[in-house]
Amino acid sequence: MWEELQLHIEQLAGKAQKRTLVKTESDGCFIHMDGRHLFNLSSNNYLGLANDERLIHASIEATRRYGVGATASRLVVGNHPLYEQAEEALIRWKGCEAALIVNSGYTANIGILSSLAGRDAIIFSDKWNHASIVDGAILSRAEVRRYRHADMDHLETLLKKAERHKRKIIVTDTIFSMDGDVAPLRDLVMLKETYGAMLVVDEAHASGVYGKNGEGMAHELQLAQHIDIHMGTCSKALGAYGAYVTGKRVFIDYLMNTMRPFIFTTALPPSVLGAICAAVDIVQHEITLRHHLHALSNYFRTRLQQVGFHIGESTTHIVPIIVGDNERALAFSAQLRERGIAAVAIRPPTVPEGTARIRFSLMATMTNQQIDWALSHIFEVGKEMGLIA
Ligand code: PMP
């Protein structure tokens, strides 16, 4: 039995897909990694809030006031007062009827889909959706149809064939995490209305970054009211941890009563809720940071494209350089590390076979000079590796 597991690991190593942990210590837009101080182009800390003094202070104060652990699940005795404060702030921010904080983005997606969809339901999921959506759909026991990435004709064909299903659920990331492209939300809203489906969106990478007050991509595109269920994480641009679900009061009440990853787990520690409360407040006012991040991202993408890198369809602060081969992606990442840049290689199964890449993610706290410096190294490595002329 152990030999089989060993063999599995060796097979992964043979395909350059074996993962190992590296000790990291984040320091704003730098990171200590493997004993080196590197410019961090791999973090989801898009607004730099993970190191913000105001969040740190709120987190410490929450611990002093309410203790380290929540001591029980929320429905038992773990629902400390900061939950109500955070959920009310979320309702005001997102302009929705109700909000629920859950322990992580991963459990949010597992929970939403497995609560909402049963054996008689059908889930339509974009092929590039995050693993937590894939897993949630499997766990729900509903029929699952994966439509080709952002292909609305394919989705419509599948919807047409699903007339007998009473509950139809369309689910999509708003910004795709490994490609940085944006889901066709307007078309998705049209289809969901035509075919009587519900639409669930995952704003993990858009919360805090898009929308006038950082509400997410649905708000940016003025479609928020047409989307049934919004989910987002507090672990990326919000700099903390955990996730939120927002929507109608009836849906949030339903989740509280049926969502197993909400019911059967200890509540988040007060320190995390303290940071979430501070982040939800701060993020709404960080308009300058958001503008700077968009300007930096536009510049970064344009420069990479000009010299001939393949960056897919990215239009956001997440920018891949698609290399193809696992070994080459690892070599690219290693060369950048030698030059002082942390940019992690993303390989299958996180991305489809043959599309290994470097996933760059930018932070609003980076300067134009830093990005120019990073670009010059990316260009040099790209040339050395024959990826660009
Ligand atoms: N959804 C998407 C699109 C994600 O990229 C991630 C995490 N990378 C998650 C959900 C999971 O969120 P969390 O890390 O808070 O569990």
Q: Beta strand 229-233 with 198-202: parallel, antiparallel or unpaired? A: parallel
| Chosen CATH of 18-47+287-384 out of 3.40.720.10, 3.30.70.330, 3.90.1150.10, 3.40.50.300 | 3.90.1150.10
| Angle of CA points 83, 85, 90, to nearest 5° | 90
Residue 244 in contact with ligand 1 by CB distance below 6 A: no
> Distance from the CA of 1 to the center of ligand 1, in angstroms?
32
**What pLDDT is stored for residue 27 in this prediction?**
86
Nearest to 118 by CA among 153, 180, 169, 191: 169
Candidate list 43, 125, 177, 333, residue with the active-site label: 177
Candidate list 130, 230, 236, 292, residue with the active-site label: 236
Residue 174 in contact with ligand 1 by CB distance below 6 A: no
Residue 130 in contact with ligand 1 by CB distance below 6 A: yes
- Rounding to the nearest 10 degrees, give the CA dihedral for residues 293, 299, 305, 306: -170
**What pLDDT is stored for residue 344 in this prediction?**
94
Residue 321 in contact with ligand 1 by CB distance below 6 A: no
Sheet with strand 356-361: strands edge to edge = 318-324, 356-361, 345-346
> Distance from the CA of 119 to the center of ligand 1, in angstroms?
25
pTM score above 0.80: yes
Q: Is 99 helix (H, G, I), strand (E, B) or coil?
A: strand
Residue 243 in contact with ligand 1 by CB distance below 6 A: yes
**What pLDDT is stored for residue 250 in this prediction?**
98
Q: How many C-beta atoms surround the C-beta of residue 3 within 10 A?
A: 7
**What pLDDT is stored for residue 34 in this prediction?**
81
For residue 320, is the peptide bond before it cis, meaning its omega torsion is within 30 degrees of 0? no
> Distance from the CA of 106 to the center of ligand 1, in angstroms?
6
What is the residue with the minimal CA distance to atom 9 of ligand 1? Answer: 105
For tokens 């929970």, name the residue: 111
Angle formed by the axes of helices 53-66 and 270-285, nearest 10°: 150
Residue 172 in contact with ligand 1 by CB distance below 6 A: no
Whether 18-47+287-384 and 53-285 share one fold: the answer is no
Over residues 88-125, the pLDDT tens digits come to 999 999 999 999 999 999 999 999 999 999 999 999 99
Residues of the chain below pLDDT 50? none
Catalytic residue list contains 37: no
Domain limits of the chain?
18-47+287-384, 53-285
**What pLDDT is stored for residue 16 in this prediction?**
86
Whether 319 contacts 311, CB under 8 Å: yes
Catalytic residue list contains 310: no
| Chosen CATH of 53-285 out of 2.10.50.10, 3.40.640.10, 3.40.50.300, 3.30.200.20 | 3.40.640.10
- The length of the chain is 389
What is the residue with the minimal CA distance to atom 8 of ligand 1? Answer: 177
Residue 204 in contact with ligand 1 by CB distance below 6 A: yes
Mutational test site, ligand 1, from 46, 104, 132, max ligand atoms within 8 Å of CB? 132
Whether 34 contacts 336, CB under 8 Å: no
Catalytic residue list contains 361: no
Enumerate the β-bridge partners of residue 170. 124, 199
Instruction: Say how far apart CA 55 and CA 62 lie, in whole Å.
Output: 10
3-state secondary structure 142-190: CEEEEECCCCHHHHHHHHHCCCCCCEEEEEEECECCCCCCECCHHHHHH
Candidate list 168, 192, 205, 219, residue with the active-site label: 205
Going through the chain in order, the beta strands assigned E by DSSP cover 24-27, 30-33, 36-40, 98-102, 121-126, 143-147, 167-173, 198-202, 229-233, 243-247, 318-324, 341-342, 345-346, 356-361
> Between the CA of residue 245 and those of 119, 131, 216, 383, what are the distances in Å?
23, 18, 13, 45
Over residues 260-296, the pLDDT tens digits come to 999 999 999 999 999 999 999 999 999 999 999 999 9
> Distance from the CA of 350 to the center of ligand 1, in angstroms?
12
